[in-house]
Structure 1
Amino acid sequence: MSIRTINLNIIKMKNYILLSAFSILSIACNNDDKDSKPAHPTLQEKYTINEIGVYPEGIDYDSKNEKFVYGSMYKGTIYSLSPKGEIKSFATSSKLVLPTGIFTDEVRNRLIVANADLGISQKSTEGSAGSVATVAIFNLDTGVLIKEIDLKNFTPGAGSCLNDIAVDSNGIIYVTDSFSPVIYKIDSNYTASVFLNNALFQPAAGAFGLNGIVFHPDGYLLAAKSDSAKIFKIPLSNPQNITEVSGMQFTSPDGIELDRNNNLIVIENGLGLGKSYTFKSTDNWTSASNVSETNIGKDEFPTTAALASDGNVYVISSKLGKLLGGDKSQSTFVIQKIK
């Protein structure tokens, strides 16, 4: 064998070794990339909030920062709860009296909170019930206040109780009012208007009317009316074409939520039996049928639900009945997964 042949073989061997090393390194790097991708955290089936006077009403799950976010009706503060159960005070403002609906808008990095006054918050004043109607926008990462929009000027001669929030695919915010027959609209520039005012939404005297609301990706809103125990379908393209979803039975519906299969979760609060119901529809929410239900407890007074990043739905118990009765001493509140 010539020296030239030996040299060529050595060069080929070196190239082979280099290519093999590069391939091994590439595989290792690719595996590292896969391993470095964040996985959804493991959530507990039940979380207990141990703090006097929280009375949480609205809840949502921030899938960007992986935590629950809920509001205290009595303390006027927004809290976060980690998958491990760590609770922190997250956001508030001097105008935040009684936070109701909460929406985590991960796409636009904002936390949207509906704010009312039922005269039962520690921030309430003499005769202030029904006089507050604002929407607060916070930074979803930091809890820093971005904007507050006052909607009370749309109901100058009537009481107002902003209740729940939905956001469509364009980032437009929709807000229900439990004391007036109105759904408000806030555009991307935070300009507010009345989206819909309809006699179908008029609450009975002394009762809550419109309550929970969700945006369906097919281009319409679904909204609950508590006093008449109805779910309405409202097309965004023709809001006055309101229809009632048939085939649904419950009393005193509160918050509503779409699950990962676009089934509708309806929370029946303590004015009813205190249950969660799961409904499905095969005709684009002209009608619906009951899939399952979970008993939460009348005294627990469940109010709203949140779809978490693990695909499960969690319900919060507010014990609002106690607070409405003047009891400010309750210290145990629960967030639990429904089956």
Structure 2
Amino acid sequence: MKTTILISAFSLLFIACDSEKKSGETSVSLKSKYIITDSGLYPEGIDYDFKNQKFLLSSLQKGAIYAMNPKGEFSVFATSSKLVLPTGVYTDEIRNRLIVANADLGISQKSTTGSAGTIATVSIFNLASGELIKEVDLKNFTPNAGSCPNDIAVDKNGNIYITDSFSPIIYKLDTNYNASVFRENTLFQPKPNEFGLNGIVFHPDDYLLAVKTDTSKLLKISLTDPENITEVTGTTFNAPDGIELDKNNNLVIVENGLGLGKTYTFSSTNNWSSATKINETNIGKDEFPTTAALATDGNVYVISSKLGKLLSGDKSQSSYAIQRVN
């Protein structure tokens, strides 16, 4: 990865994760807001495990996955020697697995001299135990270019899709974890020294929706036609990060602290050719919200990462919120 890209990444770190709509699990009572107290955590990705009733979130600074139950009890859930800067997390209850995208921007406690830009992997953990199942290397697809595996979506057959924020690529892992480039397109190309593709979801009508951070666009991507990539019109936001489908298949887009630190909920009546904003929630610019998760109570929850503090050199932040979107 080029040094200029890495330097820019420190000031433009907005990584995403998402979880697709899930159903059929028993609801539990969740608080409208949780406060996590853990010095230097800097959480980034979040998802909710419907099967085991807990939030799972990634820590950019500590290189690990953490779990928090509905009571607010918090602990390390999973890690590995290769998990340096975990970004997006995805709970796949049907297949009992946790999927984690992983990179290295040189700001993790696990980063070493010269390691920035050398890691691009996907880790698969057992969703119940946190035991490592598989790690897949993606760096061979971008040997001479920047790479930052970012967010994750899973289709109805169990195929995994991963965005890359530094290269114009969406990767695919099939059901046997064979890796390939699913789409490479100039529409995905990030501006110089900026983040491109970010949050991604699989829509039940068999296509992908993804945001591009540098251009603040929402894209619809066909699963069957490589050339069928269109911009969804009618949306306005800045610095989009994570995205999530709510229980009604409306789309929640998280605008991080490089924007205003809000969430926007959009609906569509024409299969996401266009969209209309139906809700807006202010989280706070300094809170630096990044990603969102649909929980078992039918509500969407957003995590505040405080990444602005980390990127300014402050590694001592100890209070982070997970809160319900109105």
TM-score strictly above 0.5: yes
Structure 2, unaligned stretches of length 5 or more?
A: 1-23
Corresponding residue to 2:72 among 71, 78, 85: 85
Give the corresponding residue for 2:171. 184
Higher Rg of the two aligned structures: 1
Corresponding residue to 1:41 among 18, 28, 31: 28
Contact 1:102 1:114 in 2 (8 A): yes
Give the corresponding residue for 2:290. 303
Q: Distance in 2 between matches of 1:38 and 1:134?
A: 30
Equivalences for 1:47-196 in 2 at 5 Å? Answer: 47-196=34-183
Contact 1:196 1:240 in 2 (8 A): no
Q: Distance in 2 between matches of 1:147 and 1:39?
A: 29
Q: Is the aligned partner of 1:285 residue 2:272?
A: yes
Q: Distance in 1 between matches of 2:113 and 2:267?
A: 45
Corresponding residue to 2:307 among 317, 320, 328: 320
Q: Distance in 2 between matches of 1:190 and 1:159?
A: 23
Q: 2:61 corresponds to which letter in structure 1?
A: Y
Q: Distance in 1 between matches of 2:87 and 2:131?
A: 19
Q: 1:239 corresponds to which letter in structure 2?
A: P
Give the corresponding residue for 1:241. 228
Q: Distance in 2 between matches of 1:338 and 1:199?
A: 34
Cα deviation, 1:240-273, whole Å, max 9, x if unaligned, reads 2100000000000000000000000000001100
Cα deviation, 1:90-113, whole Å, max 9, x if unaligned, reads 000000001100000000000000
Give the corresponding residue for 1:31. none
TM-score normalized by the length of structure 2: 0.92
Query: RMSD across aligned C-alpha pairs, in angstroms?
Result: 1.1
Q: Which has the higher contact order (CA 8 A, sep 6+)?
A: 2
TM-score normalized by the length of structure 1: 0.88
Compared with structure 1, are the counterparts of its residues 177 and 271 closer, same or farther at alpha carbon in structure 2 (3 Å cutoff)?
Answer: same
Give the corresponding residue for 1:334. 321
Shift, 1:38, TM fit: 8.4
Partner of 1:214, secondary structure, is strand
Shift, 1:127, TM fit: 2.8
Partner of 2:310, secondary structure, is helix
Q: Distance in 2 between matches of 1:56 and 1:326?
A: 16
Give the corresponding residue for 1:26. none
Shift, 1:324, TM fit: 1.4
Contact 1:222 1:234 in 2 (8 A): yes
Give the corresponding residue for 1:212. 199
Equivalences for 1:258-269 in 2 at 5 Å? Answer: 258-269=245-256
- Percent identical residues: 70
Say which structure is richer in helix.
1
Q: 2:165 corresponds to which letter in structure 1?
A: S
Q: 2:114 corresponds to which letter in structure 1?
A: G
Cα deviation, 1:52-78, whole Å, max 9, x if unaligned, reads 000000000000000000010000010
Structure 1, unaligned stretches of length 5 or more?
A: 1-36
Q: Distance in 1 between matches of 2:112 and 2:284?
A: 31
Corresponding residue to 1:202 among 174, 186, 189: 189
